[in-house]
């Protein structure tokens, strides 16, 4: 009788980034999440983002890595910290990593005390993450059951250009459900009105989110989450972060770059102006007018072999509980972390600031 794959086998298959860096990664996202949590409901999204960025950067610079920010807070002249191209870590290691970060995904959610904000990041070996421009990506995200179904049914493939109903029929077959039982998450934006109507007309249920479709995307690959598909145009950086987790979990992302003016149906004059503004930088990344519409699948978004991902809840969302603050530095946070070996951890962490005054409670 063959011996089943064991936890020991999985841990031995982990690469150096997963072995050496992943155990410390949630300390980085937890620090950023706790910093942001102090600003929940205070109405200042910029300050909430600022303190989370500072905390994440400080913790990143404690890691023994040679890291380069590939997806961050913006260009160097736009972002003083965690800007694209910034080098982080102590440098006292042979481990080199490309990094995607979003210290506070859902700044408005945090400022207004609305569910769904997180602190999140991923890492891979150099060249292991898509280095995309700061534009939108139109995408569709599905879980591993759909990938398996596609392998067994090569004539039925999720297609970014297919009618919504056609894609939902494939997901429904893969999950052995009716379309009426599917839940599709999509950002509540004017640009999605037509797609939302298509989803509803097909019979599926729509879950509109004000901000933050990253963790709902991850949730498509987790049974029991109640989310089956994510659709719509959002930030390109968030799409890569989603793909980092989805690749580890065996799901699928299809995406395509799109300028915000195009996605939001602006005038041709506005579209032309944005092309003129952004194409020089896009060209430097190898993106031209000819390949702008290329479909990017999971492997193109995250070609890395040694990929790690971590996220910590700020306000309670689909998968993660929000941060609880107890005063005097005490906090309790809920995180998820995973690596290419397939080991996934949900972590409930309590930080005790004053051990004399704050007993540990269940």
Domain at 26, CATH number? 3.30.540.10
Rounded to the nearest 10 degrees, how much is the dihedral formed by the CA atoms of 73, 127, 295, 144?
Answer: -90
296 and 318 assigned to the same domain: no
- Structure confidence by residue, pLDDT tens digits, 172-182: 999 999 999 99
Domain boundary residue, one of 301, 323, 339: 301
- The residue range of the domain holding 167 is 136-301
- Say if 360 falls within a structural domain: no
Count of CB atoms situated within 10 Å of the CB of 355 = 9
227 and 182 assigned to the same domain: yes
- Provide the domain count of the chain: 2
64 and 82 assigned to the same domain: yes
In a structure prediction context, what are the per-residue pLDDT tens digits for the chain, which is 362 residues long? Answer: 566 667 788 778 889 999 999 999 999 999 999 999 999 999 999 999 999 999 999 999 999 999 999 999 877 667 788 998 999 999 999 999 999 999 999 999 999 999 999 999 999 999 999 987 788 999 999 999 999 999 999 999 999 999 999 999 999 999 999 999 999 999 999 999 999 999 999 999 999 999 999 999 999 999 999 999 999 999 999 999 999 999 999 999 999 999 999 999 999 999 999 988 888 888 887 888 778 889 999 999 999 999 999 999 999 998 999 999 987 778 999 999 999 999 999 999 999 877 777 777 66
296 and 165 assigned to the same domain: yes
Task: Evaluate the CA torsion angle 312, 313, 317, 319 in order and state its sign.
Answer: positive
- Say if 189 falls within a structural domain: yes
DSSP per residue, 290-312? TTTT--EEHHHH---SS-EEEEE
The values of phi and psi at residue 146, to 5°, are -70, -40
Residue 231 and residue 140 in contact, taking contact as beta carbons nearer than 8 Å:
yes
- Say if 359 falls within a structural domain: no
297 and 310 assigned to the same domain: no
Report the predicted TM-score, pTM, of the whole model to 2 decimal places: 0.94
**Cβ-Cβ contacts under 8 Å for 236 (sequence gap 6 or more):** 71, 132, 133, 134, 135, 136, 137, 255, 257
Helix (H) / strand (E) containing 204: none
- Coil, strand or helix: which one is 278? helix
- Structure confidence by residue, pLDDT tens digits, 59-104: 999 999 999 999 998 776 677 889 989 999 999 999 999 999 999 9
Residue 214 and residue 242 in contact, taking contact as beta carbons nearer than 8 Å:
yes
203 and 229 assigned to the same domain: yes
150 and 291 assigned to the same domain: yes
- Say if 1 falls within a structural domain: no
Domain boundary residue, one of 281, 301, 321: 301
Could you tell me the CA-to-CA distances from 143 to 15, 171, 208, 209, 312 in Å, in that order? 24, 9, 19, 19, 21
* Size of the chain in residues: 362
Q: What is the DSSP letter of 358?
A: -
């Amino acid at each position: 009788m063959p011996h089943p794959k064991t936890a020991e086998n999985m841990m031995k298959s982990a690469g150096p980034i997963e072995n050496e860096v992943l155990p410390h990664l949630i300390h980085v996202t937890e620090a950023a999440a706790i910093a942001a949590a102090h600003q929940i409901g205070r109405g200042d999204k910029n300050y909430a983002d600022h303190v989370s960025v500072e905390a994440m950067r400080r913790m990143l610079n404690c890691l023994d890595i040679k890291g380069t920010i590939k997806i961050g807070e913006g260009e160097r002249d736009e972002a003083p910290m965690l800007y694209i191209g910034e080098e982080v870590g102590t440098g006292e290691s042979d481990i080199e990593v490309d990094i995607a970060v979003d210290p506070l995904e859902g700044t408005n959610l945090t400022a207004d005390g609305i569910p769904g904000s997180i602190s999140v990041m991923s890492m891979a070996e150099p060249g292991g993450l898509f280095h995309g421009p700061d534009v939108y990506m139109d995408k569709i995200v599905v879980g591993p059951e759909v990938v398996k179904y596609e392998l067994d049914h090569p004539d039925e493939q999720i297609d970014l250009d297919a009618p919504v109903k056609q894609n939902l029929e494939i997901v429904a077959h893969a999950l052995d459900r009716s379309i009426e039982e599917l839940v599709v998450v999509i950002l509540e934006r004017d640009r999605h009105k037509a797609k939302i109507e298509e989803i509803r007309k097909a019979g599926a249920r729509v879950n509109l989110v004000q901000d933050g479709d990253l963790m709902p995307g991850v949730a498509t690959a987790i049974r029991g989450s109640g989310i089956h598909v994510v659709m719509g145009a959002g930030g390109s950086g968030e799409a890569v972060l989603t793909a980092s987790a989805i690749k580890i979990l065996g799901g699928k992302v299809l995406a395509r770059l799109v300028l915000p003016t195009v996605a939001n149906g602006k005038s041709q004059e506005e579209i032309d102006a944005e092309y003129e503004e952004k194409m020089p930088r896009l060209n430097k990344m190898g993106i031209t007018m000819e390949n702008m519409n290329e479909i990017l699948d999971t492997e193109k978004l995250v070609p890395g072999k040694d990929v790690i991902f971590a996220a910590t809840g700020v306000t309670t969302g689909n998968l993660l509980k929000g941060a609880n603050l107890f005063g005097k530095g005490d906090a309790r946070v809920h995180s998820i972390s995973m690596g290419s070996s397939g080991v996934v951890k949900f972590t409930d962490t309590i930080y005790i600031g004053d051990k004399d005054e704050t007993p540990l409670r269940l």
